[in-house]
Structure 1
Amino acid sequence: MHVDVTPRHLPAGAGATSEAVVTLTNTRDVIAGFGVRVLGVDPTWVQVSDPEPRLFPGATASVRVALTLPVDAPAGRWTVSVEVIDLADPAAVSVQEVVLEVPPMRRTRVVLDPPTVTAGRQAVFTAVLHNEGNTEHVGGLAAVDPEARAVFAFDPPEVVVPPRASTSVTLTARARRPWVGDPLLRPFEVRTTGPHAPAPDAPPAATGVFVQRPRFTRGALALVGLLAAVTVFATVIALALGTVVQRSAADRDLALQVAQARDAAATNGTARLAGTVVELTTGATLSDVSVEAVSADDTSAAVATVATASDGTFAVGRLTGGSYLLRVRGAGFAEVWYPAASSPDDAVAIEVEDGAAAEGLVVVVGGVPATLAGTVTGDDVGGATVQVQMPLDTAPLLGTDVARDDPSGAAPAAGDGVVVRTVPVGEDGTFEIADVPSPAVYDLVVAKTGYATHVQRVDVAAGESRSGLELPLLLGDGTISGTVSGGGGPLGGASVVASSATVRVETVSLTTDVVGSFVLRGLPTPGTYTVVVGADGRAPSTLTLTLGEGQQLTGVDVVLGDAEGTLAGAVTVPQGDPGGVEVTVTDGASTWRTAARSGSGTWRLAGVPVPGTYTVTFARADLQSQVLSVSVDGFGRVTSGAASAAGLDVSMRQATGTLSGTVRQQDAAGAPVPAGNVVVQVASGTVTRSVTTASTPAGTVGQYAVEALPPGTYTVTFTRAGTRPVAQIVVVQAGQDATLSPVLVRPAGVRGTVTRAGGTVVGGATVRLFRAVDYGLAGAQAVATTTSDASGAYAFDDVDAPQNYLVEVRVVAGGSVLGVSPPFTLAASEQRTVDVTS
């Protein structure tokens, strides 16, 4: 059988379908069936139009292979193999390699948490970078405010985020704090930086607001901390309670106060304050917390106290008109003054008149920071990490854009949340995570390279200090095994690396026993892995393999081609030495050059990466360039464009052409004879060349040649004294020897008869032809001289024209003048009769 695959270099965008054509010829003398399959990629990505074609002897069929890569396919060059097997003879196998080029798709989303922070001199934000592309994001962040009053710092200044992963950066904004006045709003934009950052006029990656309080004020503060769909972290209220409270006696006392507050009496006024208490981390309303109305002029004691209802609402009635502050307290929660201040000095006063009501007030409270501690169990726990993640499948992120971010549309799962904290695990397996916003539900994720990821969900109460947590570190339960081969058979010592976003496992193929075999163990499942196989002197091969739950994948056979190949051939030229012909080889990204050897014309270029498709150009200034396109497989063999990698031979042609010929002219009898001293002018828009036809020796008279003419259309003009010019059009091609041999018309001539006055002819007289302007001058020379014959006739042939002449007749040379003709003008090629009478 004969198998060919086109194209060998296939662009394959993530999520798009690319197609190759397998051309299969049955070279056997019987009907044969064949099996076509693609190795090196997930079978679910491949569609073969006819996986088992049957062909008659000598018949040819085309099988279309369509590959659809997933949207999260990493960028880079992948090598897959198309295997064709004779179903009647399993030993007859043809494997053709195809290189897939997955272009990088860069898309980074930035979320600020919280988007607004109220503070004094500096505010701290958390920027979460979500890499939604298929290649690494490398770079940092930059921020700018329109007034250029704030200074921004990022920690770390630069990050590297793998595809489909996220990381966080701490953003600190600093600005000069005003002494008095209202709070200042300092909006700012956040943009990504680095080699692939968007253009400056592109929309910002995120926006935030720094609400800056003056040093001395009791003005209104902006409401901060309300839960947004993209909220990743929560800022914990700045007041610590001193010690962590779980179910302490103080909490019980405060709970009793809340219960008593339900029936507590207020003053006898008619004003009213009403609103809702909201929990910071979840945005949920908060019941059974104490709400106190305090006079703005005296904060030492509460004027009235109530407790929030089950829906978090409160109403403080029977107040006299005036200015009030609201204080909210609850077991496990930090004390907060309306709307979200930690002290009465920063609180917002509420003005209310008798008989009026201030409603819709929202107070945001946060739990005292919680602490989580415990132990990671398992073998070699050193180097493991524990992450606190805000899960996507529970409030507050459930149903938000963050939870819907998965392009596949899959429901969010445990361990897929937004990272809040990450801490390393000690050598003894212990860990402690402090300052965790509470109350909230979190996923604790323990991970280490080469181990399975374990997720454990915890419900953290407000201010809780939980210890004794046990998180297991588990080995992965998936394996990938197969064989690595080269051009000469099994290949030992090849490196085999399987990696995903969180795991990297390495091994080498065996050099003894079952040479070339390998096994990758401890792979967490389910999961998708990029497997890269490489060896010294061999081109690496990349596979993408997906493991199901506990899957032991076998039979992964990888064939490594040569890392480099050699291209060679010979150059021949029409004449002369082929040396100096430059040979240029390029694959579009890299270029290699060499030159043909003098004399032999051979050339050789080693170190060309394979597999690849190359354009080979042969050029020299005086020769017409030649171009070949060849495809080389992973073993250095040419699959299209030439017979072999050592047989890239070309025959070059001259880059210019030649025009030659013989110019003839009619003689007195009308017969064409070679004409010497004819000026031949060859002209085009940019080129003008002139030569003169040969006049000696006799065998070359009339011949001319104009060499090294660039290809083009020329006007050729032939000019000779006494003859009308002749012009013709000729097209000269590269390497062509064009010919043009015109016949010019008869040259100008003067003839006539010499007679006496009585009509008697004068034979034997000397007849001379003079230029009219020269006649009579001392030393004037005749243009031509002849003698009249017995009939008195004379003739001057091949006379220069146009010109003014006269004819003089003498009895003998040097004798007396018998007669002179009047002056006359002789035109080119004119035959003029001039009779002279003495």
Structure 2
Amino acid sequence: MRVVSGVDVLEVAPGGSGEILLDVVNTGTVIDGVSAHVVGLPVEHTTSRPSVLALFPDATGQLVVRLDLPESFPAGTHPITVRVVGQAGVTDAVHHDVDLVVGSRPQLSISAAPSVVRSRRRASFEIKVRNRGNVPLDVALRATDSDRSLQATLTPSTLSLPPGTTATCTVRVQGPRQLLGGDRERALQVEATALDQHEVVPLVLRQRSRLSAGVITAIVLLAILGVWASIFLFGVGAILGSDPYTKVAPASFFAATSVAGAAGTAAAADTTASGAPAGAVPRTGVLPAGVGGTLAGTVTAASDGLGVGRITVEAWRTSRTGLVVVGSAATQQDGSYAIAGLYPGSYLVSIKADGYTPVWYPSAADSSGAKLVNAVAQKVTGDVNLTITGNPAVINGKVDVGSVTTPVVTTVVARATWARDDATLTRTVQTAADGTFTLPDVVAPGTYELSFTAPGYQPSTITESVTGGQTRFAPTVTLASGTGQISGTVSDGSHPLGGVVVTTSVGGTPVVVGTPTLGAVGTFVIPGLPTPGTYVVTFAANGFTTATVVVDLTAGQSKNDVAVTMTGGAGTVNGRILAPDGSGLGQATITATGGPTTVTGTSLTTGNVGAFTLAGLKPGLYTLMVTLPGYAAQSVAVDLTTGTTPAVTVTMRPSWGTVQGVVQSGGTGTAGVEVQATDGQHTWKTTSTAVAGSPAGFYSFAQLPPGAYSVTLSEAGRVVTTAVVQVVAGSTVTQNLTLPAVG
């Protein structure tokens, strides 16, 4: 049979189909039915039309082999072999090798159920991640919220998904304590990243307050009343108190107040008649907005020069008892602040916050070196700017490198975003064995770019901001490892072997490749293996004993020097060793000799007694030698040129003989008489018995080697009767013995 095809490389898209056209010539002398089968692909993915092609001698026909690949079929080059065989069995099977090239199509999807949860503080979301592509995906999951008010934990945070599989991740969210107010929706999103795929699913924690709306309303009303009462009392105290600033305020600053020394004048009469000049405030009230003075400016960081938010700025005045805080304000996100409602006069300005060094305007460490700033009524005194220095911060975190057998050391580098090239601001550490790291003495406040690198892993980068003296806990960073591969050669010790089926598994899914029979014969490549990991690779071929190797791949590692030597010997001999009566004989030794290899086995003593199997024989002609104590050795010729022979049955012949008989006296059997058999070199003794089921006086010598024996009776230590018998292998000789009459 001869097969010709123009298809050596077939490209098929995932979920697509392809065809291999084969021109078949029947070179035999009989009509033959030819069929084609694909080695290296599951049967359900291949069809052939026609299923059987009938060909007359020297006739030519065409077979079309169709490959239908699912969307999740692994990407890469898959060597396959089309095996064309005739049903008549007069010609050998013909093989045609084809490289099946499947393109890469990564596709990732992510969904949440539920996506909105209403609770007081804690919630749990279930995230389903599915690999819809045809390449394995190492998926990194990360939960983020814009204001970082939520604590989110992902279990697990990384997933390894073979093509076509789905995995589940649980997101547990905890919000801040919310005592007052209505429901507040806190949004976060879960990001899934793998290769060039990036999917996001939004989640919402609808957080309930602990107090009801009615209670909140009552509390608000009480608070309003308390604030107004405080303002009233503060105003009365300020106007009627002994504060020097209130004393220097002119009387006309207050409503219904006569100017001292002007009584009786027309001006005084006009003032009293009108009630108060325009813009005057009541003596018993509080200072309205826009009437007092305002101090404003910006607080910037000494580290990066940017505005610092959430810093308390205080205005101080001098009283009889010392410095007193008369106003304060918190800086906005850009560092700006404004202290309003100040009575006209001079003030000291200071800033303070946890984790920062206190500063008095303009740059003094305490009030003694501070400079006074004037507040003018109904005006803003600006450019009261201060520079603040933060205490060193600490950034803690953890790097997840997946499941590894040996610790992976990751280098963590923190670079200041405002001065990346400044070595004095850069911090570099390495992770501990458990992946944790600590970046100490980080200049604060500021924003840093943290980069993570490890051998065999893809680099990763995150950005973290620190405030003065803060101990910052960065989110866990998951490093995605690169894929690896296993490749090498398969030989029989001297020549490369083609047509070997090479198998391993990824996540329980088998991965099958083969060695080509043309070109680079005996080579194999298993690409795209997730790392780190341990893989068991199996090699199988007709006529050879299956071989197995274990390969450990570290992150991103490729092992390209795997050399496997297969021993010939898929040939097998099965059979059974029998006794002459057809029963099985155990413990028989069977040795296959005379061929390329020598293999020895033993027949079974339990179950199918006498059965045996000799495996691992190279093709050839062998002689089976069967030996068993007590039986003559037997030999049987077997032909293993085709790999396997039909079951062999060997019947053993005993190599021992038996002498038995009855000791008689006066015509009746007599028990208790000593009987002895000897061949001149060895002596066997027994006593005639009276056991139920046997004749009285019966004796027996079993397992006697063939030869001549003298059988005697003894009484009182003297021989009284003698007989000579000839023992033949496998036979039983009966010899009765008679005791002489007494007297």
- Calculate the TM-score normalised by the size of structure 1: 0.26
Which has more helix, going by share of residues? 2
- Calculate the TM-score normalised by the size of structure 2: 0.29
